[in-house]
């Protein structure tokens, strides 16, 4: 051993180790990946839904999205309440609760001859399992039995009004799309999933809220010929009263909403938007309802096509990039 390679430290002979050898023999292993709290909240609806809706984040440290009030029905603005006079509306009430065939429809349920169901043109809207009959899904609007009907709450024509029945969760997506909604159980094709709920505003009220329009959904199916002139606002124009003219209605889920406000866009969605009327024939006030457009497996994200307009009066709108990841992705939300 070469004495010149030894060092005397506190009376002990030590051989200096090369730094490269230290790094090679005693390399510190990388720290394990950080684990984030999975369930942030047991029920974001705070008991307002029949089944709890947990909030799950396994991606980062973003807290619970509690920048809104959870509601189960639309909140109408003052202008909407003035424009829609429910005391003057005519509602069709069926009286077929005791004329149905027990074998085909079930106890307390209406059949194909129900006055409410016949409003869609060919009778039954839902099958015996409460799933939408897909040949009627493409119709402009559907009708359910209401409070004035003689049938019971078990009627096959009462589906949307029963509320959410499938177990869902709000979760943080891993590809930068923010929060989303996933199912915690299998959902068969045609099943009702949920409604788009929020503040029901007139189009002029919605315009004043822009650019905060990320949660807008126009639901009005009223008569285009009776649209309110742009300069009408809250006063009478050309002899028309508030109840005579119509203005497009918009649902804004930014401040008030339910679990469906978190549902993301997809160019190949598994939900279809259907307009359903309950206790009213005023087509300005449909319930924006989502149904499964195919069989959805447990753990899948629930998505729908936002179908944004690309032009308004010839002006091209800004196009937001789409990150849905579908093989048929259009590239934008338009």
Catalytic residue list? 196, 306
Residue 137's nearest CA partner among 11, 253, 318, 289 is 289
Neighbours of 292 (CB within 10 A): 22
CB 237 within 8 A of CB 245: yes
CA dist., res. 291 & res. 176, Å (int) = 26
Angle at 172 between CA 166 and CA 173, to 5 degrees: 100
Residue 290's nearest CA partner among 198, 121, 163, 172 is 163
CA dist., res. 220 & res. 152, Å (int) = 29
CA dist., res. 198 & res. 74, Å (int) = 5
- Please, what is the end-to-end C-alpha distance for the chain in angstroms? 78
Neighbours of 259 (CB within 10 A): 22
CA dihedral 16, 21, 22, 26 (to 10 degrees): -140
* Three-class DSSP category at 271: strand
Half-sphere exposure of 224 (CA within 13 A, CB side): 0
């Amino acid at each position: 051993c070469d004495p010149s390679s030894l060092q005397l430290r506190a009376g002990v002979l030590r051989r200096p180790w090369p730094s490269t050898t230290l790094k090679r023999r005693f390399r510190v292993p990388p720290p394990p990946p950080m684990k984030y709290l999975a369930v942030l909240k047991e029920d974001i609806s705070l008991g307002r839904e029949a089944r709890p809706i947990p909030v799950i984040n396994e991606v980062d440290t973003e807290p619970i999205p509690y920048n809104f009030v959870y509601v189960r029905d639309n909140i109408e603005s003052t202008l909407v309440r003035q424009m829609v006079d429910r005391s003057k509306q005519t509602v069709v009430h069926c009286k077929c609760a005791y004329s149905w065939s027990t074998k085909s429809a079930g106890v307390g349920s209406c059949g194909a001859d129900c006055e409410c169901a016949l409003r869609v043109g060919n009778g039954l809207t839902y099958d015996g399992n409460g799933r939408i009959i897909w040949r009627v899904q493409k119709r402009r609007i559907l009708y359910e039995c209401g409070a004035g009907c003689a049938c019971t709450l078990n009627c096959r024509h009462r589906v949307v009004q029963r509320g959410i029945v499938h177990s869902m969760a709000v979760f943080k997506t891993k590809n930068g799309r923010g929060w989303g909604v996933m199912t915690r159980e299998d959902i068969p094709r045609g099943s009702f999933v949920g409604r788009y709920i929020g503040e029901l505003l007139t189009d002029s009220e919605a315009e004043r809220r822009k650019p905060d329009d990320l949660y807008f959904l126009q639901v009005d199916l009223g008569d285009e010929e009776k649209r309110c002139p742009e300069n009408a606002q809250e006063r009478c124009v050309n002899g028309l009263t508030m109840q005579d003219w119509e203005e497009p209605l918009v649902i804004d889920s930014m401040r008030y909403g339910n679990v469906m406000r978190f549902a993301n866009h997809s160019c190949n969605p598994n939900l279809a938007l259907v307009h359903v009327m309950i206790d009213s024939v005023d087509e300005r006030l449909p319930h924006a309802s989502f149904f499964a457009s195919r069989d959805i497996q447990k753990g899948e994200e629930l998505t729908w096509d936002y179908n944004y307009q690309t032009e308004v009066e010839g002006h091209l709108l800004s196009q937001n990039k789409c990150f849905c990841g579908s093989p048929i992705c259009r590239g934008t939300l338009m």
